[in-house]
């Protein structure tokens, strides 16, 4: 959004980064049993409005989980608080192109032409892809770096530069320079790393400010991390006919274990766990909001998958009561188990 709107000539007011205060606002205003992502995004909206935002966009959805209600509830809460904002809910075109186009029209306002819209969408999409590529590269190299904080500095610099770009050529230049700088960081001579895959609900698995930056935590511990969840894929899946190859594969793998759509990322969680097991990963971390129905279903299936494929799985439910210290302790204990298994495998392999 920070690239899309300026490219359309529309001012964007990003909410401040998620903090304890954001979560407290959302928890105070939302129904107690609402899902954690709904509470955090509500906190984001309020902070954005207090900074001057007058229009809010929220993705809509349908069952079987509660996602479909959340935009409506957030709208009612914001109206009851007396804020005068335009709350736009965007439903997937799967449920009607007419509604989708009407929300899209409100979303982009009056100041656009087809060519400008095409340029803005293309630019924003490429930026999203670049940010995800950068995150992926960071996961692939962090485990072997002598000084991982240098990687953080490079990423921060790159993301700051990306916010100012006006063309894809500029983005590609930033990509080239950043990847080159990353490839020059000094590494330690470690052998095969322990490999951990992350699966789970999209918001918790992607938003590092609510998952206590688990990817970075693991990477700094010398673990190779892969995250099966991607915002770009989530957007692709929002549209008919554009499901990604990874998603198709995950759904195919999950089918013998989970035949019905259970909402959210439930099926992806199961399929991606199987994929990691087949790819020889040492363990899987399952991240999800406490009380998330699709992930509760997936959790019980994934536990069976773990036993069948002999792959350890750590289930981490996150909500407003989760604490960083407790999470770090659980992750460290899990990594200890993976290390013991890894060393045992190496010993057994060396006997032959």
Q: Which residues bind ligand SF4 (CB under 6 A)?
A: 35, 37, 65-67, 201, 263-264, 289, 292-295
String of DSSP letters for 161-192: HHTT--SHHHHHHHHHHHHHHHHTS-B----S
Under a CB-based contact definition with an 8 Å cutoff, are residues 332 and 223 in contact? Answer: no
Closest separation between CB of residue 291 and ligand SF4, Å?
Answer: 7
Those residues whose C-beta lies under 8 Å from the C-beta of residue 295, and which sit 6 or more positions away, are 200, 201, 264, 265, 266, 269, 286, 288, 289
Query: Closest CB to ligand SF4 among 47 and 201?
Result: 201
Closest separation between CB of residue 264 and ligand SF4, Å?
Answer: 3
Q: Which single residue brings its beta carbon nearest to ligand SF4?
A: 264
Query: Closest CB to ligand SF4 among 198 and 292?
Result: 292
Closest separation between CB of residue 35 and ligand SF4, Å?
Answer: 3
Closest separation between CB of residue 16 and ligand SF4, Å?
Answer: 23
Query: Closest CB to ligand SF4 among 65 and 250?
Result: 65
Query: Closest CB to ligand SF4 among 35 and 171?
Result: 35
The Cα-based distances of 204 to 43, 109, 209, 258, 317 in angstroms read 15, 31, 9, 22, 9
Rounded to 5, what percent of the chain is helix, strand, coil? 60, 10, 30
Query: Closest CB to ligand SF4 among 65 and 316?
Result: 65
> In sequence order, what are the beta bridge partners of 59?
90
Burial bucket for residue 153 (CB in 10 Å: 0-12, 13-18, 19+): exposed
How far is it, in rounded angstroms, from Cα 158 to Cα 220? 20
Closest separation between CB of residue 340 and ligand SF4, Å?
Answer: 33
Closest separation between CB of residue 268 and ligand SF4, Å?
Answer: 11
| Angle at alpha carbon of residue 148, lines to 143 and 154, rounded to 5° | 120
The CB density around residue 310, as the number of other CB atoms within 10 Å, is 8
Query: Closest CB to ligand SF4 among 174 and 254?
Result: 254
Closest separation between CB of residue 227 and ligand SF4, Å?
Answer: 17
Query: Closest CB to ligand SF4 among 4 and 214?
Result: 214
Helix (H, G, I), strand (E, B) or coil at 281: coil
């Amino acid at each position: 959004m920070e690239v899309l709107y300026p490219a359309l000539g529309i001012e964007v007011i990003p909410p401040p980064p998620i903090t304890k205060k954001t979560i407290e606002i959302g928890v105070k205003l939302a129904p107690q049993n609402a899902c954690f992502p709904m509470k955090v995004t509500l906190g984001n909206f309020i902070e954005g409005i207090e900074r001057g935002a007058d229009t809010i966009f929220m993705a809509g959805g349908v069952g079987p989980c509660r996602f479909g209600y959340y935009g409506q509830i957030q709208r009612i809460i914001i109206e009851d608080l007396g804020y005068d904002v335009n709350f736009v809910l965007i439903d997937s075109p799967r449920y009607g192109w007419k509604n989708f186009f009407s929300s899209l029209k409100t979303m982009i306002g009056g100041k656009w032409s087809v060519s400008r819209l095409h340029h803005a969408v293309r630019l924003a999409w490429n930026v999203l892809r670049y940010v995800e590529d950068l995150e992926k590269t960071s996961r692939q190299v962090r485990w072997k770096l002598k000084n991982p904080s240098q990687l953080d500095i490079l990423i921060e610099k790159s993301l700051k530069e990306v916010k100012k770009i006006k063309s894809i050529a500029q983005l590609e230049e930033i990509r080239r320079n950043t990847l080159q700088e990353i490839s020059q960081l000094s590494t330690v001579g470690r052998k095969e790393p322990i490999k951990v895959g992350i699966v789970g609900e999209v918001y918790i698995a992607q938003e590092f400010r609510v998952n206590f930056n688990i990817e970075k935590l693991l990477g700094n511990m010398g673990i190779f991390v892969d995250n099966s969840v991607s915002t770009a894929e989530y957007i692709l899946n929002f549209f008919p006919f554009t499901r990604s190859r990874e998603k198709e594969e995950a759904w195919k793998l999950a089918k013998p274990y989970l035949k019905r759509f259970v909402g959210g990322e439930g099926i992806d969680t199961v399929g991606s766990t199987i994929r990691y097991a087949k790819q020889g990963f040492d363990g899987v971390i399952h991240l999800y909001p406490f009380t998330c129905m699709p992930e509760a279903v997936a959790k019980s299936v994934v536990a069976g998958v773990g036993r069948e494929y002999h792959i350890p799985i750590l289930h981490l439910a996150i909500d407003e009561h989760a604490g960083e210290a407790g999470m770090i302790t659980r992750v460290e204990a899990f990594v200890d188990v993976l290390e013991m298994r890894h060393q045992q495998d190496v010993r057994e392999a060396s006997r032959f």
